[in-house]
Amino acid sequence: MKIRINHIVSAIFGRRFKRENSVVSNFTNVQQLRKIMPALLGGYLSESELPNSLLLLSPPPEHNSDLFELDLEHTRKALEFKDNERFLQATRDADLSFPFAVKSFESIIGIGISESRTPKLYVMMRRVMTDAGLSTYAAKNHYKRERPFMVNNQKTCTPDQENILYKVGSFPSGHAAVGWAWSLVLVKLFPEKEKEILKRGHDFGESRVICNAHWDSDVKMGRVMGQAAVDCLWTNSDFLTDWNSVEVEVQQVLNSSSR
């Protein structure tokens, strides 16, 4: 049965890939990515400084492999969440527009992240998103992996975005990279909330499987790229300058809240 399932899926992939491959878009820099995210800020890392996902990651699972069978199983289980609260959370996590994108972290860290209240942290989170997201595109552009909804013909949690998702490779997950990068930055600012912050960052990526927009292996490797992007940021002078200002800003907000 397992061999037959993989055979059927491989056949579906083969037919659909030939039909859709010509419309897959390549993105390598901020200017190109603004075609689908017009409000995107420039990141801290130059193109040459970004970690290269094509070099760092192994290829996505082959269609007839045990690893791909695991991807299929995760997706089958994820479809059971449709129309419940976890599916609604996945819908919220799909929105990378600011200030909405970071709202789910606010209740954990105990302060709002906004342009008016924490402008330095607000801008830093937007720029970190750009770097983490762009770090995934070397592999996305190369493998052009199809997404679960293109195989199982089930809706995603964001049907209005499916036309865009068709054009962007699935492996690795940019959302997972972004969510994990945010959590790695925030734990440095709020170390006493480390467990909760990392769980939120992890779940942010898991939402992409629940959404039927990514495979489990996409999400796992997205986290690898989120970590790689943050590692690069800690060697970037512009980021470090902003980091010092953000630490002061956050401490001032915390002090004012405790009075």
Active-site residues, by number, are 175, 208, 214, 218
Residues in CB range of 4: below 8 A, 6 or more apart = none
Tokens of 63: 């269609």
How far apart CA 151 and CA 133 sit, in angstroms, is 24
Q: Distances from the Cα of 199 to the Cαs of 108, 138, 174, 193, 203, in angstroms?
A: 10, 27, 18, 10, 6
How far apart CA 198 and CA 179 sit, in angstroms, is 9
> How many Å separate Cα 178 from the centre of its chain?
4
Question: HSE of 258 in the Cβ direction (CA atoms, 13 Å)?
Answer: 6
Residue appearing with tokens 């209005």: 160
Tokens of 84: 């419940």
How far apart CA 243 and CA 208 sit, in angstroms, is 29
